[in-house]
């Protein structure tokens, strides 16, 4: 196991423990109704690499913030990410019955429970950010709330999902351009990865310059992540990848790979990997683990 | 028009203007995707008395906060209230096609657009609260975020909705008790009315004692509101009420009226009206408009 993999696993365990504790809080008549709590647990405790929490924790550690101090923010972000998966999986959206081999929330419960569990997790993420355990300074907590609301909202993740579904369900636009696909991906998957890095900088009360460098790192990393995914779908075989491939082409979905071709997409991936690594230059050796995260994201495309 | 009605209308116009401005912000490629924006506008600009914004503005004015200073908080709360209506109306939830004579968001657009518009409005409400226009002091903004997330989340409004749908769709519990119905209503409709009053106190940086009195006022007012609604449904005729009545009884829905009977429910309503008025005693003449709000909420039951 590489240092990167060990830290990824360790931060995932820390995040899981935090989320488990939050969801088991106040199991009584003044607490969360039991069916809703079970659905929220099902959504959140379903495993996953916890890559966004890893980024929050590792970026903040550049500024001497301990894992313990960064955990609430990491957990809040993961709550929001999990809500987005619960709603995306709904029959009215992507209609997915399985996620990581387990029934999705609506399949395990029903649609209304999944809608409410998603709403509850989204709301909970802001509640967690507002707590003093997130940061002793309320100004920092307020900056985190603002940044997460922008990243997760209509000009960020939800907006990206709206563009994606307009394309899938309404065929609008009829011929997406490369710029359009990049905007969609930067919103739908990029915004939360960018926020993870920005949140680490906010927790560490980084300088404006450091914060901008880390947002840029997050933006480039998000692109790496997405193109690697698209390449995997286009060129991987199901046995190696561990899930069905060729889904984008079968669905006629416009991706950077379908618009650029495989070779040009690989070139662009390499350019974005280098850009992300360049963003880390100001941090010298301290940025080594974040550099490994870029290679981790890119290597899935091999 | 009474003073109360004039102020209610005036604060509604102020809130509408604020929300219209927020939703028309950044109409460009870096802004909200157009279909999503239209659905959000449809959800928010559909009229309504804006009773919750009225409470935020009037309670904060007890402490010398101007309407202008309270508007962003009032608007954020209304955003959250509107998201809850959009999701409640979905086919998977209450399956309502009409609201105030207009098609609901899913009926005017489709289910996925309505789910995302609701998600976007919920997220936007926290983004608004985090802005400096909400309050100059970030500690106050953080308190507002925390209070709204608790009021709107799994131990508040979303939890109440989960209890209500468990009852409607799963028949669980089979025989709701009065305590159960009161808990459900305090969560589902009470929590946001309580928050509106608490938010006014937070904006005004009221003392702990004043804040508790106003939360208590909000709690009693919420009960008045709900029992008046239940009585209207049980005893009103459609012509006077302006909408279909007898829906609760037809659906076999447990309410305080069905469990207590009409006369005992009216007695309890009178007790709650008095309790809400008593909560205002510390504010003397300054609380007159809030006393009128209690009578307004109760009189709908006549």
Closest Cα of chain B to A193: distance in Å?
A: 17
Paired tokens of A102: 């387990």
pLDDT value at residue A31: 87
pLDDT value at residue B83: 98
pLDDT value at residue A237: 67
Contact A119 B158 (CB under 8 A): yes
Contact B124 A40 (CB under 8 A): no
Closest Cα of chain B to A268: distance in Å?
A: 23
**A102-103 and B102-103: which strand pairing?**
unpaired
pLDDT value at residue A123: 98
At A6-26, the pLDDT tens digits run 999 999 999 999 999 999 987
pLDDT value at residue B140: 98
Query: What integer best gives the mean pLDDT of chain A?
Result: 94
pLDDT value at residue B181: 95
Chain A: residue whose CA lies nearest to B130? A146
Which residue intervals of A89-137 are DSSP H helices? 105-108, 111-130
Instruction: Tell me the pTM.
Output: 0.97
Q: Could you give the CA distance from residue A192 to residue B124 in angstroms, rounded to a whole number?
A: 16
Instruction: Determine contact, residues B49/B87, Cβ cutoff 8 Å.
Output: no
pLDDT value at residue B238: 65
**B98-99 and A102-103: which strand pairing?**
unpaired
Please enumerate in sequence order all residues whose Cβ is within 8 A of that of A120, keeping only pairs 6 or more positions apart, or say none: A32, A36, A40, A83, B153, B154, B158, B159, B162
Q: pLDDT tens digits, chain B, 302 residues: what are they?
A: 788 999 999 999 999 999 999 999 876 777 899 999 999 999 999 888 999 999 999 999 999 999 999 999 999 999 999 999 999 999 999 999 999 889 999 999 999 999 999 999 999 999 999 999 999 999 999 999 999 999 999 999 999 999 999 999 999 999 999 999 999 999 999 999 999 999 999 999 999 999 999 999 999 999 999 999 999 989 876 666 666 778 888 888 899 999 999 999 999 999 999 999 999 999 999 999 999 999 999 987 54
- For B172, the 3-state DSSP assignment is coil
Contact A31 B155 (CB under 8 A): yes
Contact A120 B165 (CB under 8 A): no
Nearest to B141 among A37, A142, A165 (CB): A142
Instruction: Determine contact, residues B190/B50, Cβ cutoff 8 Å.
Output: no
Closest Cα of chain B to A64: distance in Å?
A: 24
Q: Could you give the CA distance from residue B20 to residue A227 in angstroms, rounded to a whole number?
A: 37
Pairs of CB atoms within 8 A across A/B: 167
Closest Cα of chain A to B81: distance in Å?
A: 13
Contact B130 A124 (CB under 8 A): no
Average pLDDT over residues A46-56: 94
pLDDT value at residue A38: 96
Contact B149 A126 (CB under 8 A): yes
pLDDT value at residue B283: 97
> What percent of chain A clears pLDDT 90, i.e. is strictly above it?
87
Q: Could you give the CA distance from residue B262 to residue A124 in angstroms, rounded to a whole number?
A: 38
Helix or strand run (H / E) with residue A34: helix A34-44
Closest Cα of chain B to A109: distance in Å?
A: 11
Contact B162 A40 (CB under 8 A): no
pLDDT value at residue A239: 62
Which residue intervals of B132-261 are DSSP H helices? 138-152, 157-170, 178-185, 191-203, 208-235, 238-241, 247-250, 256-260
Chain B residues with CB under 8 Å of A123 CB are: 122, 149, 152-154, 158
For chain A, domains (ranges, CATH) are: 1-175 (1.10.600.10), 207-302 (no CATH)
């Amino acid at each position: 196991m590489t240092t990167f993999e060990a830290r990824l696993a360790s931060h995932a365990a820390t995040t899981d423990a935090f989320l488990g504790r939050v969801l088991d809080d106040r199991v009584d008549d003044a607490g969360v109704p039991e069916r809703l709590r079970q659905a929220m647990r099902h959504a959140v405790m379903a495993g996953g690499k916890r890559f966004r929490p890893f980024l929050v924790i590792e970026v903040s550690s550049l500024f001497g913030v301990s894992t313990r101090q960064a955990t609430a923010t990491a957990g809040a972000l993961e709550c929001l990410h999990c809500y987005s998966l619960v709603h995306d999986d709904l029959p009215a959206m992507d209609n997915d019955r399985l996620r990581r081999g387990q029934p999705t929330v609506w399949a395990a419960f029903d649609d209304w429970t999944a809608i409410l569990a998603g709403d509850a997790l989204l709301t909970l993420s802001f509640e967690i950010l507002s707590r003093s355990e997130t940061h002793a300074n309320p100004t920092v907590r307020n900056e985190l709330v603002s940044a997460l609301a922008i990243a997760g909202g209509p000009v960020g993740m939800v907006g990206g999902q709206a563009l994606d579904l307009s394309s899938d369900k309404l065929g609008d636009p009829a011929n997406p351009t490369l710029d359009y696909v990049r905007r969609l991906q930067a919103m739908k998957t990029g915004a939360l990865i960018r926020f993870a890095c920005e949140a680490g900088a906010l927790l560490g009360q980084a300088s404006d310059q450091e914060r901008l460098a880390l947002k840029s790192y997050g933006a480039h990393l998000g692109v790496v992540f997405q193109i690697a995914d698209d390449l995997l779908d286009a060129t991987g075989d199901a046995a190696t990848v561990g899930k069905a491939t060729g889904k984008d082409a079968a669905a006629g979905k416009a991706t950077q790979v379908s618009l650029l071709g495989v070779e040009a997409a690989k070139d662009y991936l390499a350019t974005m990997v280098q850009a992300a690594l360049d963003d880390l230059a100001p941090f010298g050796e301290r940025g080594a683990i974040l550099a490994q995260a870029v290679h981790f994201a890119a290597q899935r495309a091999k």
